Structure formats: structure tokens, C-alpha cells
Structure 1
Amino acid sequence: MKPWNLLPLILTASLAAAPAFAAKASKAAPAAEDPAMTVRPVTGLKALDMPYDAGEGILVRWDVMPHDEYAAVYVVELSSVSAAGPWVKAKEVRSDQGTVAELGFPFWARPKAGQRAVEVKPLDLFSNDSDAAKARVSKAEYFVRVRATNGRQVADSEVVTGRAESDWFSMPRLNNLIFTLVFCGIVLWFISHARKKDLFLRRIPGLDAVEDAIGRATEMGRPIYFLTGRLDIDSISTIAASLILGEIAKRIAQYDTQLKVPHTYAMTMAVCQEITKQAYSEAGRPDAYREDINFFITEDQFAYTAAVNGMMVREKPAACFYMGYYYAESLLLTEVGASVGAIQIAGSDSEHQLPFFFITCDYTLIGEELYAAGAYLSRNPVLVGTLRGQDVGKAFVMLSIFFGVAFATLGVLIGREGWVTTMLEIFKSY
């Protein structure tokens, strides 16, 4: 028999043997899917009030599930109607997310670990911009569920309810409260100490020259000009300037020298009028006080500058004080004052104008020396104690920065990066 005549017999035998091979293959099928890979509904689901907030958030927590290591995804859904829905997607997190550390609380206010923790905000889902809608949404009770999925399977959890409520105390800000109380205690201690004996204050040459400037004006029979800057009384630099005005006015009242205080804001003028009047009374010369010591010119920057410069040229003051915050008019004013031969003492926290004061004035108070001038001139125990307390606070901040950098560097070198996080949390303003 020829070989090609056997081909039909071979094909028939192969087809007959196929079911047998298929049966063996079915017996050798892989085992059932790993139970850990099966997505199950989350357990331990709770919808709690988000701690330490203003009633805006709900904290959703559930247990760590066995299928988390297989890249499960959790979808937190909210309903404002009923446990049957409709549902609104609030947040989606992966199995490696939703930890307590992600909530952003410091270590002393962090919720207990061991469960997933996700914050959802109903205000972002169910309210518009009206205050009434926000109030209604913030007080409502919501239905919460968590849907777990791995891309192939989906499992819905039981439905729980939760409500967002406002809290009276924010525990994350406990560090700020402690620092504030400590700083206030230091200031009060220095105030009480200053009432018992004089505290040392660093010498400020510009303020030591105040007596010379007033004496020179008295001898020459010329007026003294005092300017409070370009900002209104709500500025800290203008407040400092008004305190300096009060102390200088006391000394001027004793010498019966003419004082002129031109203003660019009516409110500042009214405050300085009362300060000057009180200063003359404390100096024992209420009869020497005149209402026209303080006078208003204009709020326009360069119109004010031109008016003051004109008065300087005509009256040729013997001394000029420039205290407060200044802009481009600083050089225009001080150049004219220098041209008439006046002793000029400036003080400003405007770093852009300080170079012009350095060039044209005899003495310049730099930055915080302006704030310290009132305490330096008056020696008031409250002001001196506050000033010394501020110095201690600044020293504490500087030491904290130095040791913080040192510990952070050491923590990185020895593998303790947690030190860096802890120190940042202690000094963070939450």
C-alpha cells in the first residue's frame, strides 16, 4: 500500500483521540482564584464628624481589607435623600491611600490609626453659593456607602449615616495657644519687673539727639516740624510715630518752642491732636497748647509734599522729624530740610526709603527702632516690658531655627526623617 493511502486513517484516529485529550486538560485546570483577590464589602464602616473643623466635613472610616494588596479602589458615595440613593461620588482613593497621616493633623491631634480614613465635604457636593443653602447642607444628615472594586468585581458596603458638626476647639492649634500663653507670660513678667527697676535698653543715637534738636530750635527761635508719614492711623508705623510725637511734645512744651505737625489724613490729625494735648498737660503746660499745632493739608501725595516744602523754605525750621512710612516724597522733603539747615531725625520701616534718609538726615531710626522709640523716650514700664518680651521672643525664634536645622540635618544623616516632620508640626500654624 502506498503511504498517501494511509492519510485518511491517520486523520480519523486523531479526531477520535481529541475528546480524551480534552478531558485530561479539563482535569488539569488551575485551582480556584485566591480568596484574598476576591473583592468583599468593606467592614467597620463609620461616618463620623470631622474633628476640629467648622462643621464642613465628614470623616469616613473602614477596616483595612485583605484585598488591599491587589490594587483595589474605593469610591466613597453620599446621598442626601435616602439609603437607596441617588448616590453622588464624593471621593475615590486607592488601596494605598486613605491613611490617617493624609488628613494633615499633627501628631498630638491625629485620629487613631488602624483604619482607612477619608474626609468628604457635603458642601462641595450639595450646596450652591448662597448662605441659606450652606447652612441647610451643613446641618443635614447624609447616607454614606463605600464601593470597592478591582476592575473586575464590585462590592457595595452597608449604608451608614453621618452628620458634620462644628467644634468649639481646634486641637491642631494647641501649639499656637501654648506659644501665645508662654509669650504673654514672658511679657507680663518683664512688665512687672520694669515697674520695680529700670531695664536696660540699647542706646539709640537718633533719640539721644532729640534734646539737642529741641534746644537748638529754642535758641534760634525757629519752629520744629514733625511728620507722621504717608499712611493713616491704622498703620503700625503711624501709630509708632504718634507715640514718638507724644514724647517729643512733652519736651517741646517745657521749652515753649513752636511745634508744627502737618497731616495728610484727617483721622490721623484727630488722634495726634489728642496725643499732643495730653502731652502738654502732662508737661504742666496746658496753657501753651494750641489747636493749630496739628493741621490738615491734603491727601494727595505730591500736593502735600509741595505744601510742606513751601512752609520749610519760608519758616526755615531748626529741626525736622520724619517718623512713619514714606514713599517717593521722602527725598523731596529731606532735601529741602537739609537746604534750610535743619537738624533732621528720621525713622521708618520702609526699607526702600531708608537709603534716602541715610543720605539727607543726621540720624535715622532703622526698622524696629521706630517701634522701640516710644519705650526708649518714655521709659514707661508697660512699653519697656513689652519691648523686652519681644526681644526674648525673637531670641527664641532664632534659637528654634538654629536647633531645628541642626536636628533636621542630623535626622537625615542617621535615617530619622520623622524628626523633621515632628519639628515642623510643632512650629506649624494650622
Structure 2
Amino acid sequence: MITLLVAFFILFNIRRAKGGRELFIRRIAGLNTIDEAVGRATEMGRPVLMVPGLSDTSVNAKSMQAINIFAYVSRVAAKFFNPILVCCYNAGIYTVATEVIRDVYQQEGLGDRFDPDSVRFISDRQFAFAAGVSGLILREQAAACFFMGEFYAESLILAETANSIGAIQVASSTELTQTPFFIAACDYVLIGDEFYAASAYLTRQPVLVGSLIGQDWGKLLVGALIVGGVVFNSFAIRKTATTEYDDDGREVYLSKPRPMKASESAYSRMFEQKIDPDIKIDREKYAPNEIPAKVAGAPVGGE
């Protein structure tokens, strides 16, 4: 039922977005600084460098999200006639990124200014790629660096290299284990769903925006159900009991509902558990550091 509701929320909001309805998405600090970072690179006459992650497959959703963000960055850079560098990990992403960036320049009426060499295939080996990108950062003295997508052990290598030359860095990794390294070395980091919200906000594609809003509605629904369930059970909204436990511990139905006792509420069962005084446990007691003779020679595992 919840799955159907979430699907309905997504389709409904996609329809709203396609119908021209302006859906609000909160901007975050990492997005607000894109124009500033590109403007600074223009003032310094230095390029903007972008890395769409290290995807194991040719092209996946994460790399496409990164390329959508880079399309916006490239659009801003094209308006300022600022050079860009896009470093790709595999041939599939290289091909897609080349076409997307070329389309951006053509849409801005600057197709003749697009440099095919601005999108580069570096290597499909992790640390060879990290070394190649680090070398480009140092040689080209990039003023702004954007690291978006899947990153692994090379994340800190790239971030520290860019940090060493004073570049503004905006990063986001879909790998939770690498996010702390980006936080330590970068100026701005998109965490978790902010990465997908960023591409939806910047591209304003109805499918992306509608999906994002629909998923948020689904999260609110699930959260409300959880809170409502906790409140309902904790404070025993149901005031009558229809079952009870017999002497053998089995739950049986009552012939007639009766008022619920305070000790029978879910809150009491969870936080005020009581030990039955009739239950006695016979257990031999030994002095501290005393090992019983019958236990001392027993093998491990009790065999």
C-alpha cells in the first residue's frame, strides 16, 4: 500500500511539473557557490575542473546525475568564456560528457568555442586516474574543482591536491565512507540526497523534480505513520483489553472486553518489565576466582 502511494506521489508531482507548476526545492550552500567559484576562476584566468566520479559500469544513474550538474557549471563557464576540464574514468562517460557539454555550448550560441580537448579520458585504473587528474590540477592550476559521483580511496588524493593550490572545491560522493574525507578537505560538500536534489534543481527537468518531490512526500508519509504508531502504542489509546495471558503464558481471547490495566499497556511492557516472584532459578554459587572441579576439566564447548 505504501509503495503504491509513493508511486502515486511521484507520478502526480511529475504531472504537476510537466504542467508548468513551479515546485519548490530548497537551495543548499554547495549550489549557491557554483556561480561564485566559476566567477573567481574567470577573474584569475584559470580553468574549472570537473570529475564525474569513478563508475565501475559504463554509464549509470550516479554518473548521469554528476553530468547534469556539470552541464549547469559548463553553462555558467561558457557565459564567462572560461575554460573547463572534464576528467572521465571510462569511455562511456567520456562519450556522454562530450555530447552534453557540446550541446550546452550550442544552446548558448557558442558552439565554435567548444574545445573537444576540454573533455578528457584519463584512465580506467583507479590510481592511474587519480595521478592523472592530480597532475592536471597542478599543471593547469585549476581555480575551482567539482568532484561529483562515485569516489573511493582516491577521494582524499584529489581533494588534497586541489586544496594545496587554493582551489574552491565542491564535492559529493555517493559512497558514505568517502564523504568524511571530502568534508575535511573541501569547501562545500553535498551529503546524501542533496546530490540528487542538486541535479533536479539545476536542470529543472520535470521527471527529476517530480520524482524528488514525490519521494519527499513518501518519506513524510512513512515518518508520520511511524510517529503515529509509536504514540498510539505507547499511550495505549485502546482502553479496553480483548485478550489476556493464562497461567501457561498463552494469549487467549476474553469472552467480554474489560478495561485495560496500566500494566498491560505497551509502554509498561517495554519500560516497566517485572519479574514474576514465583519464578525461582536454582543456580550454584561459587566464591570469586573459584573454578568448580566438574567444570575445570571440561573441554571448550561443554563436550
TM band (smaller chain): 0.7 to 0.9
1:223 to 36, 47, 64: 47
State the alpha-carbon separation in 2 of the partners of residues 252 and 415 from structure 1: 70
Question: Structure 2 vs 1, CA of residues 321 and 404 (structure 1 numbering), >3 Å: closer, same or farther?
Answer: same
Instruction: State yes or no: 1:283 paired with 2:120.
Output: no
Over aligned residue pairs, what C-alpha RMSD do you find? 2.4
Instruction: State yes or no: 1:201 paired with 2:34.
Output: no
Other-structure match for 1:18: none
1:369-405 C-alpha deviation (Å, 9 max, x unpaired) = 1111112223344433332222111111211222344
Alpha-carbon deviation of 1:250?
1.1
Alpha-carbon deviation of 1:414?
4.2
State the alpha-carbon separation in 1 of the partners of residues 222 and 201 from structure 2: 24
Instruction: State yes or no: 1:268 paired with 2:62.
Output: no
Letter in 2 for 1:183: F
Structure 2 gaps, min length 5: 244-250, 252-303
5 Å-filtered alignment, 1:283-362, equals 283-362=108-187
Give the structure with higher Rg (CA).
1
Other-structure match for 1:250: 75
Q: Helix, strand or coil for the counterpart of 2:190?
A: strand
State the alpha-carbon separation in 1 of the partners of residues 7 and 128 from structure 2: 47
Question: Structure 2 vs 1, CA of residues 414 and 229 (structure 1 numbering), >3 Å: closer, same or farther?
Answer: farther
Please report the TM-score for the alignment, with normalisation by the length of structure 2. 0.73
Instruction: State yes or no: 1:369 paired with 2:194.
Output: yes
Please report the TM-score for the alignment, with normalisation by the length of structure 1. 0.52
Counterpart contact for 2:11–2:211, Cα < 8 Å: no
State the alpha-carbon separation in 2 of the partners of residues 224 and 185 from structure 1: 37
Question: Structure 2 vs 1, CA of residues 341 and 177 (structure 1 numbering), >3 Å: closer, same or farther?
Answer: closer
State the alpha-carbon separation in 1 of the partners of residues 88 and 242 from structure 2: 61
1:191 to 17, 29, 33: 17
State the alpha-carbon separation in 2 of the partners of residues 234 and 408 from structure 1: 47
Alpha-carbon deviation of 1:188?
3.1
Counterpart contact for 1:224–1:318, Cα < 8 Å: yes
Counterpart contact for 1:190–1:386, Cα < 8 Å: no
Counterpart contact for 2:10–2:211, Cα < 8 Å: no
State the alpha-carbon separation in 2 of the partners of residues 386 and 176 from structure 1: 16
Letter in 2 for 1:228: P
Letter in 2 for 1:265: N
Other-structure match for 2:5: 179
Other-structure match for 2:292: none
Q: Helix, strand or coil for the counterpart of 1:344?
A: strand
Question: Structure 2 vs 1, CA of residues 182 and 404 (structure 1 numbering), >3 Å: closer, same or farther?
Answer: farther
The higher-RCO structure (CA 8 Å, 6+ apart) is: 2
State the alpha-carbon separation in 2 of the partners of residues 303 and 241 from structure 1: 21
Structure 1 gaps, min length 5: 1-174, 418-430
Alpha-carbon deviation of 1:181?
4.8
1:131-168 C-alpha deviation (Å, 9 max, x unpaired) = xxxxxxxxxxxxxxxxxxxxxxxxxxxxxxxxxxxxxx
Q: How many residues align?
A: 241
Alpha-carbon deviation of 1:307?
1.1
Question: Structure 2 vs 1, CA of residues 401 and 260 (structure 1 numbering), >3 Å: closer, same or farther?
Answer: same
